[in-house]
Chain A
Amino acid sequence: MQELLNRPKGLHRTVLIVDDELIEREMLGAILCDYYEIIYTDNGESALEIIKREKLTLSLVLLDLHIPKLDGFSLLKIIRSDSELWRIPVIMLTAEKEAEVESLQLGAADFITKPYDAPDVIRARVNHSIELAEDRIIILDTERDALTGLFNKEFFFEYARRMENQNNNMPMDAIVIDVNRFHIINELYGKDYADLILKRIGNSIHDLVTQVGGLACRSNSNCFGIYVPHIENYKVQLPMYISMIEKGLEDTRITIRMGVYLDEGQKIDLEQRFERAALVCRKIGSNYSTCYDVYNTALHTKELHSERLINDMDSALIEKQFKVFYQPKYSIKDNKPVFTSFEALVRWYHPEYGLITPDEFIVLFEDNGLIRQLDRYVWNEAAAQIRKWRDEFGFSIPVSVNVSRVDAFNPKLVETLKNIIENNGINNEDLLLEITESAYADNSQQIINTVVVLRDNGFKIEMDDFGSGYSSLNMLCSLPIDALKLDMKFVKNICNNQKDYRLVGIMTEIARLLEVPVIVEGVETEQQLKLLKEIGCDIIQGYYFSKPLPAEDITELIRKTVQGE
């Protein structure tokens, strides 16, 4: 295209007339010379020489069929099959009707019949052929990615949409291909090598779509899109596609991954199908054991649901859709269990989805940091409730609250908690803080420092989910904690799994060593309770005694207990 852009405006395009008849050359030249620069020649060999020499400036060849040395059809074939010459349009000059069809079949842009008795028609045909060829060059150069020769994203979608409209609803799958660890290749081996790899992948993808039908594009630096006829058995086909593409990379250790949106009759927009395929491709991400995956509607629905929950959180806090429930913890040291404290557990009453349990939203909020707002909400609610109970019953009942790992690393944590305590007029030891064991494993020294400061300020710390994280025995010994709370999964099978029973025993021993009580949650049956008592656990929490209840129910429970005493 550069040669087109380089041409000064108004400069005549150059046309080559090839005819061995001087009179015919002259006549044709006379028709065109006011509009074009004309080069003349009378034989095929000299024409080819001129075409090769002037390939960047020649706009059109007018080629007679019967010329010496190299006949018109042979020359046309050479031009059309030459990668440097094929962009130059050729109009055949003929008096023979039969030659017209063959000319067009061999790739001629048009034909002009002799005699030249309609100059205006000849000029119009010449002009039209040049315009078409120039437009085609512009389109070819803009529709393609320069590196790989595949379509660029915009043209790809345009052509895919056209294909979709024309193919009578033939199902087509959307596939997104990414190069694993491409940034590393770029950094380690440089841009030239990375480009070479992309070029090779582009070639393989081109071969693939040529073979199976469809279209391909390079959508961004190391990402490709292909739109191919629907795959019936993707578990067989996709590995085949991958190996076809990776074949071009055999001498490297570079691999690719594929995210696929299978067309199973869903009526969704083309771009959306590719977005979903890209989503799947991103999800495979660093999981090198999988090289492809297909989009799953259920998974997507779940993601949309998660996104909705995240978006709704702010208004839920304002509208107090989160309700704090309380589950009693009972000391089982004596024959008769005695409740010692509560754990504050949050529930979300969503206006549309109804009751949502924490396992649905806590992980989401932990991922994006929103958990800090929720933690504060629960801490405030719990602190206010402790105060209410103290006002009503005349004594404080401690409530444990969860401190997420995000909060555990917050330098203002102590200050925030102290403010809450102060605002509600309760004591630091009334608000027990549960920090999950895995937070300790993430950055043990920092968390230990935080916990030390909290304890120095009078807060009690319970290590939550003990046994599910990766605490080292060494760390445990130096850990400043006030209670160990066992992960509930150990309790679940304690009655029929000897290993779990013994593990609970070992963890209880560790608690003894650390001189802190053991709290066991998730206790649902009498038999579990019996075994835990046997092992020597101190405090029990679970449905066996009580499910988490709203504050008013708990108030009633306390009232009854107090009256019973």
Chain B
Amino acid sequence: MNKEDFYLRLVNIAINDTKLTELEQQLSNNDLDSAFETAHALKGVYSNLSLTPLTIPISEMVNLLRNKTDTDYSKLLNEEKTQFQFLCNL
């Protein structure tokens, strides 16, 4: 397997991952600790795959969740979901 195939395989794994849905659920339950863990993991994956449009909103969420900031995460989450959908449609 060459580097490109390897990369595409990993991107495919990321696309089929359910963590973004989990994050949405945790936020709606106001479970900020779990949401932080999930967002943190997603940030790692997306940044490692250089998926910059996905990395920007999730990084912002991680920073807010680390401090357990009680705010409306829906805007950032929607942005993340839009970018994720965009990736899936590629």
User: How many residues on chain B are close to A (CB under 8 Å)?
Assistant: 14
Known contacts A23-B49, A30-B6: A115-B44 contact under CB 8 Å: yes
Question: Looking at chain A, what size class is its interface with the partner chain?
Answer: 10 to 19
Q: Give 7 pairs: A residue, B residue, CB < 8 Å, sorted on A.
A: A23-B10, A23-B13, A27-B10, A66-B37, A66-B40, A95-B40, A115-B47
Minimum CB–CB distance from B36 to chain A (whole Å) comes to: 9
The complex places the Cα of A21 from the Cα of B39 at a distance, in Å, of: 12
Q: Can you name the residue of chain B whose Cβ is closest to the Cβ of A64?
A: B44
Known contacts A23-B49, A66-B37: A114-B44 contact under CB 8 Å: yes
Contact with A along B54-88 (1 / 0, CB 8 A): 00000000000000000000000000000000000
Enumerate chain A residues within 8 angstroms of B49, measured Cβ to Cβ.
23
Enumerate chain B residues within 8 angstroms of A114, measured Cβ to Cβ.
44, 47-48
- Residue A515 interfacial (CB < 8 Å): no
- Residue A20 interfacial (CB < 8 Å): yes
Minimum CB–CB distance from B55 to chain A (whole Å) comes to: 8
- Residue B27 interfacial (CB < 8 Å): no
- Residue A271 interfacial (CB < 8 Å): no
Partner of A21, one of B6, B45, B50: B45
| Interface residue SS majority, chain B | helix
Minimum CB–CB distance from B12 to chain A (whole Å) comes to: 10
Contact with B along A510-534 (1 / 0, CB 8 A): 0000000000000000000000000
Contact with B along A409-448 (1 / 0, CB 8 A): 0000000000000000000000000000000000000000
- Residue B41 interfacial (CB < 8 Å): yes
| Interface residue SS majority, chain A | loop
- The residues in B between 1 and 37 inclusive whose CB is less than 8 angstroms from any CB of A are 6, 10, 13-14, 37
Enumerate chain A residues within 8 angstroms of B48, measured Cβ to Cβ.
23-24, 27, 114-117
User: Given A24-B48, A95-B43, 18 other A-B contacts at CB below 8 A?
Assistant: A20-B41, A21-B44, A23-B13, A23-B45, A23-B48, A23-B49, A24-B45, A27-B10, A30-B6, A66-B37, A66-B40, A95-B47, A114-B48, A115-B47, A115-B50, A116-B48, A117-B48, A117-B50
- Residue A120 interfacial (CB < 8 Å): no
Q: Can you name the residue of chain A whose Cβ is closest to the Cβ of B43?
A: A95
Q: Can you name the residue of chain B whose Cβ is closest to the Cβ of A22?
A: B13
